[in-house]
Amino acid sequence: MNDPVEYFSSEDWTLGVIGLGYVGLPLAVTASERGLGVIGFDVSGSRCAELMAGRSHVEDVSDGELGAALDRGARFTSDPTELGAADALVICVPSPLGRNRQPDLSYIEAAARTVESVLRPGQLVSLESTTYPGTTEDIVAAAVDRAGLTIDDDVWVVFSPERVSPGDTMKTGEIPKIVGGVTRMSSAVGAAAYSRIVSAVHSVSSARAAEMAKLLENTYRAVNIGLVNEMAQLAFKLDIDIWEVVDAAATKPFGFQPFYPGPGVGGHCIPLDPQYLAWRAKEANFATRFIDIAEQVNTMMPSYNADRIAALLNERGLPVFGTKILGVGIAYKPDIGDDRESASLDVLDELRRRGADVVVLDPLVGDDRIRHHGYEPAGDDLSGYALAAVLCDHEVIDYERLAASVPVVFDARAAYRKRGIEAGNVVPL
C-alpha cells in the first residue's frame, strides 16, 4: 500500500468490527450503507447466527436495515480468523466498572489478543471502547508489537470514541467522530478511514487526547446532572418547584444549558465514564473533586427518591413495608428498552429492601426483563396500588389513565408537566 491515506479515503475497503453490540452493529451497518465491505465478529456464536438470519438485537438497527446490509455482502461470524481479510479492525467491546468501581479492561484486552492473532501489514486498528487515557498505547499498540509489526511502517493505530445515543434520531453516520492516533501518521490514516463512514471527522494530536475528550463529554454531563440533582433537593426544602426554576433559567439565550433532575444517572456512559477518569487521576496523584462530589450526589439520588416516596405514603398513613407500589419505567432513559445501569431500578430496589410490594410497568423493557430483575410485570388493571412512581417517562404510557387509577403519583421525570397534563394527585420530584 503506497499511500494508506489515499487508499482509505477512496477505495472500497473492508471494515472488520470486533463486538456486535449497541456500538459495533450500527457501525457495521453504516459502513455497509457507505459501500464498504463488512466483517463483523462477536464471541457469541448465537448472536452471529441471529444476525445472519436478519434478526437485530439492537434497537437502533432495524431488521430491514440489517437485511439490506446482508444483501450487500456484510457477514457476521464468531470465527476471528475471518478478520484477517479486513483492512481496518475496529474494537467495539464493553468497558464496564469492576465490583469496586475500578475500570474493567478485560474485554478490551481480549479484543487486543484477537487483533494480535489476525494482524497483518496494511491494516488500521481503532479502539472505540470508552477508557482512560493511555489505554490505546498500553494495550492495542502493545498487541501490535507482540504481533511483530511496526506502527507506521506496517499498521496504524488510533482511538476514536463511540458517540452513539440509543433511541435518538441521529444515526451513527451523522455523528462527528474524534480520531487520535498513537502517531501523527496513524491519525491521518484513521481520519481518512472514518471519513468514508461518518459525516465529519475531528482529528486530535494523540490517542490520549481522544480518550480524554470522550471522558470529558460524559463527565461534563455527570457533573451538571449532579448539580441539578442537588438543587432539586434544596428546592424541595425551600418549597420551590425545581422544574419551574430550570425552565426559567433556560430562557437565557446564552451561558446556560438546562439539565434536569431525576432518580439518578443511568446507561452505559454517564455512571461509568467519569470513574475511568477519576481512577486514572488517582494514579497521577490528582484529586478529581468535582467528579467525586457529583458521583456522591448522583449515587444518593435513588435513596432520596425512595425517601420522598416513603414520605408521601407516610402522609397518607401508610408504611412502606407491605404497601403495593407501581414502578413506571425502568429503562435508563425515555423511549428505549435499555435498562443498563438504570437508576430507576435502584429506586425500586431500595423500596423493595424496605419491604414494599413493588410491581413494574414498562412496555418497552418488556415482561421478560422485568422478571429478570425480580419484579412482577403490571397487568392492564392499574388499580390497587397505593402509589405510582414515574421513574422513566416513555411516550407509550397513558399518564392520564395512570393518574386516574392510583391515589398519588410521584413524578420523578416531570412527565405530567412536559405533556401539559394537570392532575391534582401528581407530586413532582
- For 317, other C-beta atoms within 10 Å of its C-beta total 6
Task: Report residue 70 as a C-alpha cell.
Answer: 446482508
Helix/strand/coil (H/E/C) assignment for every residue in 10-75: HCCCEEEEECCCCCHHHHHHHHHHCCCEEEEECCCHHHHHHHHCCCCCCCCCCHHHHHHHHHCCCE
Put simply, whether the predicted model's pTM sits higher than 0.75 gets the answer yes
Per residue in 155-192, pLDDT tens? Answer: 999 999 999 877 777 788 899 999 999 999 999 999 99
Whether 269 is catalytic: yes
3-state helix, strand, coil in the chain (%, to 5): 45, 15, 45
CATH class, range 4-205: alpha beta
CA geometry: angle at 164 spanning 200 and 152, to 5°? 55
* Fold adopted by 225-428: Rossmann fold (3.40.50)
Residue showing cell 492473532: 117
Confidence bin at 235 (pLDDT 50/70/90): very high
User: Taking residues 279-294, what's their average pLDDT?
Assistant: 90
Going by the DSSP 8-state scheme, the letter that residue 135 receives in this structure is H
Report whether 188 contacts 211 (CB < 8 A).
no
Domain boundaries along the sequence of the chain: 4-205, 225-428
How many CA atoms does the CB half-sphere of 148 hold within 13 Å?
A: 3
Which pairs with CB-CB distance under 8 Å and at least 24 residues apart come from 311-314? 312/387, 312/408, 312/410, 312/427, 313/386, 313/387
| Selection from 1-10, 96-105, 168-177, 237-246 with the highest mean pLDDT | 237-246
Predicted pLDDT at 266: 83
4-205 against 225-428: fold identical: yes
Q: Which is higher by pLDDT, 279 or 148?
A: 148
pLDDT band at 98 (very low <50, low <70, confident <90, very high): confident
Segment 380-395 mean pLDDT? 96
8, 124 contact by CB (below 8 A): yes
